[in-house]
Amino acid sequence: MKPIELNQGKCKTYLVSCPDTGSAMLIDPVAGNADRYLAMLAYRGLTLEWLVDTHTHADHPSGTALMHALTGATIVMHERAPTPIVGRHVKDGEQLAAGKLKFTVLYTPGHTPDSISLYGHGYVFTGDVLLIHGTGRADFAGGDAGDQYDAITGKLFVLPDDTVVLPGHDYRGNTQSTIGQEKQHNPRVAGKTRDEYVALMDSIEFPLPDKIQEVLQPNQSAIDDEKMPFPSLSQLSDVQQLRPAQVRERLQAGAGLIDVREAEEFNGELGHIEGARLVPLKELVQAASDLDKQRPWILICRSGVRSTTAAAMLTALGFDEVYNLRGGMLDWQSEA
């Protein structure tokens, strides 16, 4: 098995296939390249089984939704991924098989809260957590340099030294490295303590990706509508976040609860909070006219990301008191 990188650019998409069964997975597909991916699948006679996003991308639109629509392949992301279109949520240590190939999911947060890596057959696909002679930024909402250091040193650097590192990006023309090389020579991590790494990352002023608003929030919500009034990053940062215990207190005091997931999520594996009103995010603006602007409202979704967007939208519409359930139903269930 030898992965094939399909984009030949700064954003990396990898095709992995089983030579015996023809089963394939596509890792981090980029929107706009579907024709290229389909042509390669057809040329090699492969059946696409999995579409893996290693994390919620902020610098390019994900191609998973379109490739799912065209092929029927299942979209795979970590359980903390906010988008509603994931067909299989995975956790640390789970196996993902394509024919006779088996890869282990490594939960490697830090760049984003939903970042994963895939390890198997001498390769590790690291997304944006570990790059070749670098690391991904950790300053986006939900990012954490300490978590990133722990993931790199505790999950990735314990792999065999000859494991080939295939990252989600490269900006210097590199194509691959190894775990051993990164442990010895990665200038951000090698020889540094956790505190030193956090201080280094805090000292770097990363420029924002081009069109981050047009990319990130559609990737988070699976809503691709130019008329959708997505809030700005500053509006999102102003949203008041509540833990489950605080939410219970405010519900007892008369606050209302709005769940902005899709109906199948509302009635799915995580369930919903009794008394919650289902208003999918794409319908929120229209439904807002029927809501009492003076009443306190708490927004909720799967992981707390879409509902932060929803809370910012209601605030922009003139609602007096709006909160978000931090961590969404995942944290609500874990702290029940």
Q: What is the 3-state secondary structure (H, E, C) of the chain?
A: CCCEECCCCCECCEEEECCCCCEEEEECCECCCHHHHHHHHHHHCCEEEEEECCCCCCCCCECHHHHHHHHCCEEEEECCCCCCCCCEEECCCCEEEECCEEEEEEECCCCCCCCEEEEECCEEEEECCEECCEECCCCCCCCCHHHHHHHHHHHHCCCCCCCEEEECECCCCCCCEEHHHHHHHCCCCCCCCHHHHHHHHHHCCCCCCCCHHHHHHHHHHCCCCCCCCCCCHHHHHCCEEECHHHHHHHHHCCCEEEECCCHHHHCCCCCCCCCCEECCHHHHHHHHHHCCCCCCEEEECCCCCHHHHHHHHHHHCCCCCEEEECCHHHHHHHCC
Residue 265: the pLDDT is 97
Q: What is the mean pLDDT of residues 7-13?
A: 93
Residue 136: the pLDDT is 96
Q: What is the mean pLDDT of residues 287-300?
A: 97
pLDDT tens sequence across 71-109? 999 999 999 999 999 999 999 999 999 999 999 999 999
Residue 55: the pLDDT is 98
pLDDT band at 11 (very low <50, low <70, confident <90, very high): very high
Domains defined for the chain, CATH in brackets = 4-203 (3.60.15.10), 225-334 (3.40.250.10)
Is the pLDDT reported for residue 336 higher than 80?
no
Q: What is the mean pLDDT of residues 171-177?
A: 86
Residue 213: the pLDDT is 82
pLDDT tens sequence across 132-142? 999 999 998 89
**Whole-prediction pTM:** 0.96
pLDDT band at 226 (very low <50, low <70, confident <90, very high): confident
pLDDT band at 291 (very low <50, low <70, confident <90, very high): very high
Is the pLDDT reported for residue 186 higher than 80?
yes
78, 106 in Cβ contact below 8 A?
no
- Find the angle CA(299)-CA(243)-CA(117) to the nearest 5 degrees: 90
Query: What percentage of residues in the chain have a pLDDT greater than 70?
Result: 100
